[in-house]
Amino acid sequence: MIPRTAKIALVAGVAFFYSLIVLNNLADPGVNYEFVRHVLTMDTIAPGSRNLWRAIHAPWLHVAFFAFIIAWEVAVSAWLWWAAARMLRARRAPAAEFRAAIRFAAGALALSLLLWLVAFLAVGGEWFLMWQSPVWNGQQTAARNFAVVALVMMLLVQPEKDQGA
């Protein structure tokens, strides 16, 4: 029962983390929007970069990117809370039923991993060269968040002894 409780707690912990991310983005949208705007306009990377043609200067696209990120975070948060609740309900159920709840949580964690990998590390970090910005660089935060969620995912999918492993 302890491995199941730990898995439930970890999924709920990531759900709580995402809830705080959403709260912060909604409570202080100005600062968080500025982050997105600076990344997309590439205005704080190395001057004279040959890649500045990638910059996006349309404010409506800055808003769209920002809204898309928040919507993604809201979806992950809600999905994780729902997954944690499903796992909690199945904690004393047969292994197959608990594994089904875990698969649901694994889907939510995969969506989270994609956010950090694709939106922040690939698009923000490499396409818009966020790594070059001394001020608006979210690479370390994205990498940390990716690592935490990946670790939870790896622990989550570990079979339990009563599952024949």
Tell me the per-residue pLDDT of 54-102, one tens digit each, with 9 for 90 and over.
Answer: 999 999 999 999 999 999 999 999 999 999 999 999 999 999 999 999 9
Half-sphere exposure of 111 (CA within 13 A, CB side): 21
Q: How many CB atoms lie within 10 A of CB 139?
A: 16
Does the residue 114 lie in any domain?
yes
- Confidence band for 108, pLDDT divided at 50, 70 and 90: very high
Give residue 165's pLDDT: 35
Tokens for 93, please give them: 């159920």
Asked whether residue 137 is domain-assigned, the answer is yes
Domain span at 146: 2-159
Return the sign of the alpha-carbon dihedral for residues 131, 25, 109, 60: negative
Mean per-residue pLDDT of the chain: 94
Q: What is the pLDDT of residue 160?
A: 76
Any domain includes 81 = yes
Q: Is residue 164 part of a domain?
A: no
The domain tally of the chain equals 1
**pTM (whole model) above 0.85:** yes
For residue 9, tell me if it sits in a domain.
Answer: yes
Domain for residue 34, yes or no? yes
Task: Decide if 61 is inside a domain.
Answer: yes
Largest Cα–Cα separation, the chain: 61
- Whether 67 maps to a domain, the answer reads yes
